[in-house]
Amino acid sequence: MSTMRTLGEFVVENQHHFPHASGELSSLLGSIKLAAKIVNREINKAGLVDITGAVGAENIQGEEQQKLDLYANDKFKAALEARDQVCGVASEEEDEAVAFNKDLNKNAKYVVLMDPLDGSSNIDVNVSVGTIFSIYRRVSPIGSAPTQEDFLQPGHKQVAAGYIIYGSSTMLVYTTGNGVHGFTYDPSLGVFCLSHESMMIPKLGTIYSINEGNYIRFPTGIKKYIKYCQENVPEEHRPYTSRYIGSLVADFHRNLLKGGIYLYPSTESHPNGKLRLLYECNPIAFLMEQAGGKASDGKNRILDLKPTELHQRVPFVVGSPAMVDKVESFLEQYPE
């Protein structure tokens, strides 16, 4: 019988893959793990206490903020600031990056970018939601406050990334550039236990995930790909199945395990797409590439894009590599 390994034990065992961190990654992930437990507890109370619904305000993207958005944002910020590894955070729920001003935080080497509660509008109907996080080494001098340049780094500079999915079970999935590993939360013990080591996505899947309600607004190449999935897939690969939850973490997690593709392309009303490059697409792309998949804006590798603003949006295609290649070929053939 194999010995159960916790997230903390696994990180320590594999610190040789992350030599410049000298134990700091373990502490940083410990902060994320703690906040995830607190948020998980509140999510599981949804419907029993007054934690669901909107707060009557919008974030900088013009999206209605949910009570749990703000709650999760506060808990992750507090957990990251409480330890000395992070000098600042950028969040979907903050207009600007937040600098931690304690002296010890100023001496920290890392910044964290996050979507504290992806898919939070689904809480009210008991659908899986998640947290997405991305970790970079700062480029500004240690001992000073973080600058905008610390956060506007291309995705290939990430030192770690991951997500927590709050569903039928709660899982934390992360990478430091040496594979993708998943840990399932055992609430009876209060620990995340290794359950999915070295996760890999099949080269070709049979699931496509896209909001087909926006079909008439999609570029021609995306429309052609959807018709291909519905009608023209080679016989040996049929049938393709449409599965769309509307929570990026939930859709991505399913496709990672089973094989498939997730698409959030540009539309007439959102020519740059709706997903944010820095704290949604980059971390998901890092995970997908480490799992043997591919992530693209339809033409370019996501991790090579140079950010220009904190809340920058990009079209997003991510999943099994053969499926992403097929989408790119349609977009190249039908560029309008």
Structure tokens, 116? 């504290």
CB neighbour class for 254 (10 Å; exposed up to 12, middle 13-18, buried from 19) = buried
Question: Of 127, 68, 136, which Cα lies nearest the Cα of 253?
Answer: 127
DSSP string, 17-66: GSGGGTTHHHHHHHHHHHHHHHHHHHHTTBTTBTT-SEEEEE-TTSPEEE
Q: Is 309 marked within a binding site?
A: no
Q: Is 211 marked within a binding site?
A: yes
Q: Is 208 marked within a binding site?
A: no
User: Which H, E and C letters describe 92-144, residue by residue?
Assistant: CCCCCCEECCCHHHHCCCEEEEEEEEECHHHHHHCCCEEEEEEEEECCCCCCC
Q: Is 119 marked within a binding site?
A: yes
Q: Is 70 marked within a binding site?
A: no
Structure-derived torsion over alpha carbons of residues 40, 211, 294, 273, reported in degrees to the nearest 10: -90
* Amino acid symbol at 317: V
Pairwise CA distance, residues 247 & 75, whole Å:
21
Q: Is 120 marked within a binding site?
A: yes
Q: Is 329 marked within a binding site?
A: no
Structure tokens, 234? 């080679």
Q: Is 118 marked within a binding site?
A: yes
Question: Of 165, 177, 233, 245, which Cα lies nearest the Cα of 204?
Answer: 233
Q: Is 244 marked within a binding site?
A: yes
Q: Is 80 marked within a binding site?
A: no
Pairwise CA distance, residues 94 & 296, whole Å:
26
Residues at the binding site for substrate are 118-121, 211, 244, 262-264, 274
Known binding-site residue numbers for Mg(2+): 92, 115, 117-118, 280
Residues annotated within the binding site are 92, 115, 117-121, 211, 244, 262-264, 274, 280
